[in-house]
Amino acid sequence: MKGELRVGLIGCGRISARHMEVLGAIGQLRLVAVCDLAGGRRERAAARSGATGYADYHEMIRAERLDVVSILTESGSHARIGIDVAPHVGALVVEKPMALTLEDADRLIEVCDEHRTRLFVVKQNRYNPAIVRLRQAFEAGRFGKLVMGSVRVRWCRTQDYYDQDGWRGTWRDDGGVFTNQASHHLDLLQWFMGPVESVMAYTATRLVDIETEDTGIAVFRFLSGALGVAEATTAARPTDLEGSLSILGEAGAVVVGGFAVSRIDVWNFAELHPSDAEARQIGVAAPSVYGLGHYAFYQDAVNALRTGRRAMLDGLEGRKSLELVNAIYESAATHAEVRLRYVPRGVALGR
């Protein structure tokens, strides 16, 4: 793709403001259309961005010559809308998760491949400066043999948050803390620790009235033999506490903390490097739990479209954490250890 890329945005809810801000800051992208069923949200988004507002994304696709469409609707609709839109654009940006069921994720990937539409899944925390520095150390082999990886998501979401929209906290359209808030952190965990062999999980709904879980624990065995833990809750009170990632190996340990995996809290390696002192100073305060990576995510997608190379976060990469989420729910429902590379049978998510 050459020249300025025309972008359409479907879904003008909570996350849309961040996307509009980033789209307005990248000169190679121009937001020309926004779409939402809710008139008030659509009108506010159109006024803020200067884009044309549409109530029907089919109409938007017919009326506009769009190169890229970003799908920011409720999670349960991501795959369906993506499958509808893919034949008509050159690229799709899909907020996490890319789908709720593995079948829908595979169908979305298949349709994008069939129409040669590039698919990018938003896992923006991979681009946080602290995570970028951690990845550099990881790829340099500084950890040696991996021992354990863990993530902690301790955020506050009250009943008011879930009552904002009828789809929140439902099995059909949203999922719980593992699908929504912690999916970014699960993505980071498997990105560093590698493929998961099996998972054992427990979930609970403690402080809000929703179908799905607000609290959960999952224990992982990775194919490497290393172990992992995910602790996730939206029942922290009265405010958000942390969103963190820890990687432990035979030659070092790093903890990236803050509210949105944006601050290096621990940076300890047996073999010292000159850059270690600088790494320990990375303590960027994220403006929100969304982290700092949306700009770099979009820039990576643009570069991939310009050069034809693979982006860091394509459909296949986005599917990995979705499989992990489904395995967590399978284990919680059956009270049994679940091995990965499996066909879900007892998962309510997306159904």
Q: Which pLDDT score, from 0 to 100, does residue 287 have?
A: 59
Closest-CA residue to 15 (of 34, 28, 32, 39): 34
Distance CA 45, CA 49 (A): 6
Distance CA 125, CA 254 (A): 16
- What CATH number is attached to the domain comprising 245? 3.30.360.10
Q: Which residues pair with 247 in a beta bridge?
A: 149, 254
Q: How confident is the model at residue 156 (pLDDT cuts 50, 70, 90)?
A: very high
Q: What is the Cα Rg of the chain in Å?
A: 20
- What CATH number is attached to the domain comprising 119? 3.40.50.720
Residues 23 and 116 in one domain: yes
Inform me whether the pLDDT recorded for 68 exceeds 80.
Answer: yes
Residues 146 and 81 in one domain: no
Inform me whether the pLDDT recorded for 344 exceeds 70.
Answer: yes
- In total, how many domains does the chain have? 2
Inform me whether the pLDDT recorded for 302 exceeds 60.
Answer: yes
- pLDDT one-digit tens code per residue, 34-53: 999 999 999 999 999 999 99
Domain assignment present for 347: no
Inform me whether the pLDDT recorded for 281 exceeds 90.
Answer: no
Q: Which pLDDT score, from 0 to 100, does residue 186 have?
A: 98
Domain assignment present for 350: no
- Contact yes or no for 76/350 (Cβ under 8 A): yes
CB atoms within 10 A of CB 34: 31
Q: What is the mean pLDDT of the chain?
A: 95
Residues 190 and 333 in one domain: yes
pTM: 0.94
Place of tokens 């699908």: 179
Residues 333 and 189 in one domain: yes
Q: How confident is the model at residue 345 (pLDDT cuts 50, 70, 90)?
A: confident
Q: Where are the alpha helices (DSSP H) in the chain?
A: 16-25, 39-49, 57-63, 78-85, 102-114, 129-139, 159-163, 183-193, 276-279, 294-307, 315-334
Mean pLDDT value across residues 297-306 = 96
Distance CA 274, CA 244 (A): 25
Domain assignment present for 224: yes
Domain assignment present for 105: yes
Q: Which pLDDT score, from 0 to 100, does residue 231 have?
A: 98
**Sheet of strand 242-249: strand arrangement:** 263-269, 252-257, 242-249, 146-154, 227-233, 215-222, 196-204, 338-339
Residues 306 and 272 in one domain: no
Residues 174 and 204 in one domain: yes
Interstrand relation of 196-204 and 215-222 (parallel, antiparallel or unpaired):
antiparallel
Mean pLDDT value across residues 119-125 = 97
Q: Which pLDDT score, from 0 to 100, does residue 291 have?
A: 64
Residues 82 and 134 in one domain: no
Handedness of CA 295, 297, 301, 307 (dihedral sign): positive
Q: How confident is the model at residue 351 (pLDDT cuts 50, 70, 90)?
A: confident
Residues spanned by the domain of 118:
5-125+294-313
Distance CA 269, CA 170 (A): 43
Domain assignment present for 206: yes
Inform me whether the pLDDT recorded for 286 exceeds 60.
Answer: no
Q: Which pLDDT score, from 0 to 100, does residue 290 have?
A: 60
Mean pLDDT value across residues 312-326 = 96
Q: How confident is the model at residue 341 (pLDDT cuts 50, 70, 90)?
A: confident
- Contact yes or no for 220/228 (Cβ under 8 A): yes
Place of tokens 């009552």: 163
Residues 279 and 190 in one domain: yes
Domain assignment present for 302: yes
Residues 152 and 236 in one domain: yes
Inform me whether the pLDDT recorded for 135 exceeds 70.
Answer: yes
- Which distant-in-sequence residues (6+ apart) come within 8 Å of 276 by Cβ? 267, 269
Residues 107 and 178 in one domain: no
Q: Which pLDDT score, from 0 to 100, does residue 203 have?
A: 98
Domain assignment present for 48: yes
Residues 86 and 167 in one domain: no
Q: What percent of the chain has pLDDT over 90?
A: 91
Residues 222 and 330 in one domain: yes
Inform me whether the pLDDT recorded for 167 exceeds 70.
Answer: yes
Distance CA 321, CA 144 (A): 24
Domain assignment present for 349: no
Inform me whether the pLDDT recorded for 204 exceeds 80.
Answer: yes
- Contact yes or no for 199/331 (Cβ under 8 A): yes
Closest-CA residue to 350 (of 89, 104, 6, 181): 104
Q: How confident is the model at residue 6 (pLDDT cuts 50, 70, 90)?
A: very high
Distance CA 117, CA 71 (A): 14
Distance CA 86, CA 81 (A): 8
Inform me whether the pLDDT recorded for 120 exceeds 90.
Answer: yes
- pLDDT one-digit tens code per residue, 72-104: 999 999 999 999 999 999 999 999 999 999 999
